[in-house]
Chains A and B, each alone.
Chain A
Amino acid sequence: MFGSYKVKIEGGLLDKVKQCADVGGYGSVHEFVVHVLEKEIKRVLPPDEGGSTSRELVKKRLQGLGYIE
């Protein structure tokens, strides 16, 4: 139920992913993909915990008022 999720990467994209993993010094394609996903998740989603969570959530809620960027 809490297991893994397989994503198929093939063709030109797979070649480029392998290339990036090599250039970046990653141990494997898997390691590179997981790292990229973690980085992207951190950018897109609000942080899980810590003092800034509340401020981020408040900011998100308040932005709809129009007065905050």
Chain B
Amino acid sequence: MDPQLLKQFMHEGKMPNFSRLASQGSFRLLTTSIPPQSPVAWSNLITGMNAGGHGIFDFIHRDPKTLEPYFSTSRVEGPKHAIHLGNWVIPLGRGTAEQLRKGQAFWEILDQHGVSNSVFRIPANFPPVPAKGETLSGMGTPDLRGTYGTFSFYTDEPAAEAGAVEGGQIIPVQVENSQVKANLIGPDNTFRKGSPAANEPFLVTIDPLESVARIAVQRQEFVVQEGEWSNWIRVEFQLFPFFSNVKGICRFYLKQAHPRFQLYVSPINIDPADPALPISTPSSYSRLLSEEAGEFYTQGIAEDTKALSAGVLDDNQYLAQARTVLAEHRRIFDAEFPKFRQGVFFFYFSSLDLNSHMFWRLMDPKHPGYDAALAVQNSSAIAEFYQQIDQVLGEVLPKLDDHTTLLVLSDHGFAPYYRSFNLNTWLLNNGYIKLKNDASLDSSEPWANVDWSQTRAYGLGLNGLYINMRGRERDGIVQPGAATNALIKEIEEKLLSVKDPQAGLPVITRVDVAGEVYQGPYSHSGPDILVGYNRGYRAGWKTILGAFPPEVLEDNMNPWSGDHCMDYTLVPGVLLSNRKITAETPALTDIAPTILAEFGIAKAKDMIGQSVFQSNRTVHQSLR
């Protein structure tokens, strides 16, 4: 939730419940994390520490010895040992899912003090930390293939090219006698040599006259009309006959029956009724919840933004899917909130975040992706989701008594994403990255032809810039200490002077040095420099993993048109409460101490914030 948009919608009378809460209680800007990315921000909230304490600096981290990137908050690994029998590989033991965030979650401390709690879909909690209460993992939870969402799109379009697209897979099929035979693609089967993906066949029978199809998957049959979504369909992937299988759920969307066949299948989600990986505490809770509230998306980011970006779903088709996600969340909320009697109840709604990413372009005529014709239909899409969240607040407010504290907050705000800054191209052009002699620039391959023996700095992740430091990086050349500090200073000054020739605006408005803004044992484990982009700018799509697009600056034409991975002072979140907040500039790191203080529990010694209701607050943030 963005404070500027919230104020605008409140002013327009679209958010009556938020207006009431703001006028009767408090409404503050909430200082977000450095950098303002969700895994970092939610880890700040969860632990009361910043990245130096919890060790999450970005969506993407790198191994300094190999420069291989990995997702920062969790690691899912298959079994390490196996026996090979012909084409079969028998794994010894089970795979693991490991939580990489350090530090105690606030609800672990509540557990230790006997305070009951329920925590739903909080990001950066996969696999969920052991807890006495009911928790359900959120952002960071993979789909059944171990990705953060891979859709499938089956079509007989002659021009369709088979293979992977961003966040999905295009699968050409043939329509023969009004039937399509295809496979659902499941997880990699580690029981088979080479670990090919497990498949389950399905059959589509298309009505030759009507725009409708019957789909048969395993023992289930259902009918979908063109433009219609199926309910959740259970699928079981057999990995080793009679011995091992995994269960998932997916939804089908018949985009077109005639003249061309187009069928979208959602990422195969972990089945909450029989989860293949841990997604809740207690482990049986996701099953009980699905029995009570129905099946639901279990993958961390349920809104299929990539299907919209890839053009597989259009705006209206994506919106229908995004509305279903919110409807599921509201159904779970409506099932669980009435049970709340005491302790802490936390619930996360993802809709404002994901849909602000996707629909900024339709409410902002200055956006390069603005389309007046599309805007006529969906310029109010973001406002619509805000209004739904206002309705949720409307359900909560009448239930509050004088002894209950309500906190409504967001981890960051939002801004337009007009232009991409290709940090690694800029580093290359400015001599900080060197290519091997006579090597040509391969713009698409990460780190292609980079001569690490002459490279002094590189960018990885959405805001991270690393010094190629001797003794830390595999081929590090910059001496730690004075040489590193001088290089950081030099790069900082140059970055702050970069101007966009098109708009005449500074591209980067803030540069933070890790050693100056982080506290805790992991302060030097992440990027050395945090690049804070101006509103309207963000790290380019391909620079994030180390590629070199030819231009340093380029228009962002992706439907993903709003963002927040910028200068953290420009994208604060919101904090509202039914009580008077005494803190003038509360921060995410204050939330865990605030919750603990409400139950008379002292904050942990490594927490850097304090209760937002305390009157004797001191400024705790390391602001330069």
Interface size of A in residues (CB-CB distance below 8 Å): 22
Choose one: B60, B68, B86, B147; the contact of A64 (CB below 8 Å): B147
Decide: B462 and A67 in contact? CB cutoff 8 A: yes
Q: Could you tell me the distance in whole angstroms from the C-beta of A4 to the nearest C-beta in chain B?
A: 16
CA distance A29 to B446 in the complex (A): 37
Near B by CB (< 8 A), chain A positions 19-61 give: 40, 43-44, 46, 48, 52, 54-55, 58-61
Q: Which chain B residues border A69 with CB–CB below 8 Å?
A: 166, 309, 541-542, 558
Assuming A64-B301, A65-B301, is B148 touching A58 (CB within 8 A)?
A: no
Q: Which chain A residues border B142 with CB–CB below 8 Å?
A: 61
Decide: B147 and A60 in contact? CB cutoff 8 A: yes
Decide: A66 and B354 in contact? CB cutoff 8 A: yes
Is A9's beta carbon under 8 Å from chain B?
no
Question: Which residue of A has the minimal Cβ distance to B143?
Answer: A64
Decide: B166 and A68 in contact? CB cutoff 8 A: yes
Q: Which chain B residues border A68 with CB–CB below 8 Å?
A: 166, 541, 544-545
Q: Could you tell me the distance in whole angstroms from the C-beta of B380 to the nearest C-beta in chain A?
A: 22
CA distance A69 to B59 in the complex (A): 14
CA distance A62 to B86 in the complex (A): 33
Decide: B59 and A62 in contact? CB cutoff 8 A: yes
Q: Which chain B residues border A61 with CB–CB below 8 Å?
A: 71, 142, 146-148
Is B222's beta carbon under 8 Å from chain A?
no
Q: Which chain A residues border B150 with CB–CB below 8 Å?
A: 60, 63-64
Q: Could you tell me the distance in whole angstroms from the C-beta of A14 to the nearest C-beta in chain B?
A: 18
Choose one: B70, B146, B301, B445; the contact of A66 (CB below 8 Å): B301
Q: Which chain A residues border B501 with CB–CB below 8 Å?
A: none
Is B603's beta carbon under 8 Å from chain A?
no
Assuming A43-B163, A60-B150, is B305 touching A66 (CB within 8 A)?
A: yes
Is B167's beta carbon under 8 Å from chain A?
yes
Near A by CB (< 8 A), chain B positions 277-334 give: 299, 301, 305-306, 309
Decide: A58 and B542 in contact? CB cutoff 8 A: no
CA distance A61 to B142 in the complex (A): 9
CA distance A6 to B70 in the complex (A): 41
Question: Which residue of B has the minimal Cβ distance to A66?
Answer: B305
CA distance A63 to B146 in the complex (A): 12
Decide: A59 and B148 in contact? CB cutoff 8 A: no
Decide: A54 and B68 in contact? CB cutoff 8 A: yes
Q: Which chain A residues border B143 with CB–CB below 8 Å?
A: 64
Is B164's beta carbon under 8 Å from chain A?
yes
Question: Which residue of B has the minimal Cβ distance to A63?
Answer: B167
Q: Could you tell me the distance in whole angstroms from the C-beta of A67 to the nearest C-beta in chain B?
A: 6
Per-position contact with A for B235-268: 1 when CB-CB < 8 Å, else 0?
A: 0000000000000000000000000000000010
Q: Which chain A residues border B86 with CB–CB below 8 Å?
A: 1
Is B498's beta carbon under 8 Å from chain A?
no
Q: Which chain B residues border A48 with CB–CB below 8 Å?
A: 194
SS of A interface (majority): helix
CA distance A54 to B77 in the complex (A): 13
Q: Could you tell me the distance in whole angstroms from the C-beta of A33 to the nearest C-beta in chain B?
A: 17
CA distance A55 to B545 in the complex (A): 9
Question: Which residue of A has the minimal Cβ distance to B462?
Answer: A67
Per-position contact with B for A1-14: 1 when CB-CB < 8 Å, else 0?
A: 11000000000000
Q: Which chain A residues border B194 with CB–CB below 8 Å?
A: 48
CA distance A1 to B542 in the complex (A): 43
Choose one: A2, A55, A66; the contact of B306 (CB below 8 Å): A66
Decide: B541 and A55 in contact? CB cutoff 8 A: no
Question: Which residue of B has the minimal Cβ distance to A52?
Answer: B445
CA distance A2 to B544 in the complex (A): 42
Q: Could you tell me the distance in whole angstroms from the C-beta of A51 to the nearest C-beta in chain B?
A: 8
Q: Could you tell me the distance in whole angstroms from the C-beta of B160 to the nearest C-beta in chain A?
A: 12
Decide: A66 and B545 in contact? CB cutoff 8 A: no
Q: Could you tell me the distance in whole angstroms from the C-beta of A31 to the nearest C-beta in chain B?
A: 22
Q: Which chain A residues border B147 with CB–CB below 8 Å?
A: 60-64
Decide: A64 and B167 in contact? CB cutoff 8 A: yes
Q: Which chain B residues border A2 with CB–CB below 8 Å?
A: 87
CA distance A46 to B542 in the complex (A): 18
CA distance A62 to B71 in the complex (A): 7
Q: Which chain A residues border B267 with CB–CB below 8 Å?
A: 64
CA distance A37 to B164 in the complex (A): 17
Choose one: A44, A58, A63; the contact of B166 (CB below 8 Å): A63
Q: Which chain A residues border B544 with CB–CB below 8 Å?
A: 67-68
Q: Which chain A residues border B163 with CB–CB below 8 Å?
A: 43-44
Q: Could you tell me the distance in whole angstroms from the C-beta of B331 to the nearest C-beta in chain A?
A: 23
Assuming A55-B69, A67-B544, A68-B544, is B164 touching A60 (CB within 8 A)?
A: yes
Is B162's beta carbon under 8 Å from chain A?
yes
Choose one: B68, B301, B357; the contact of A55 (CB below 8 Å): B68
CA distance A60 to B169 in the complex (A): 10
Interface centre among B147, B163, B301 (most CB of A within 10 A): B147
Decide: A62 and B162 in contact? CB cutoff 8 A: no
Is B560's beta carbon under 8 Å from chain A?
yes
Is B149's beta carbon under 8 Å from chain A?
yes
Q: Could you tell me the distance in whole angstroms from the C-beta of A64 to the nearest C-beta in chain B?
A: 3
CA distance A1 to B70 in the complex (A): 38
Q: Which chain A residues border B301 with CB–CB below 8 Å?
A: 64-66
Near A by CB (< 8 A), chain B positions 535-577 give: 541-542, 544-545, 558, 560, 565
Known pairs A64-B149, A66-B357 / 20 extra A-B pairs, C-beta < 8 Å: A44-B162, A44-B164, A52-B445, A54-B68, A58-B69, A58-B71, A58-B545, A60-B164, A61-B142, A62-B71, A62-B148, A63-B147, A63-B306, A64-B143, A64-B147, A64-B148, A64-B267, A68-B544, A68-B545, A69-B558
Across the A-B interface, give the 5 residue pairs with the lowest CB-CB distance, nearest first: A64-B149, A64-B148, A69-B541, A44-B163, A63-B167
B-to-A contact residues, CB < 8 Å: 59-60, 68-71, 86-87, 142-143, 146-150, 162-164, 166-167, 194, 267, 299, 301, 305-306, 309, 354, 357, 445-446, 462, 541-542, 544-545, 558, 560, 565
Between A and B, 13 residue pairs with Cβ closer than 8 Å are A43-B163, A44-B162, A44-B163, A55-B446, A58-B68, A58-B545, A63-B149, A63-B167, A64-B143, A64-B267, A66-B357, A67-B560, A69-B166
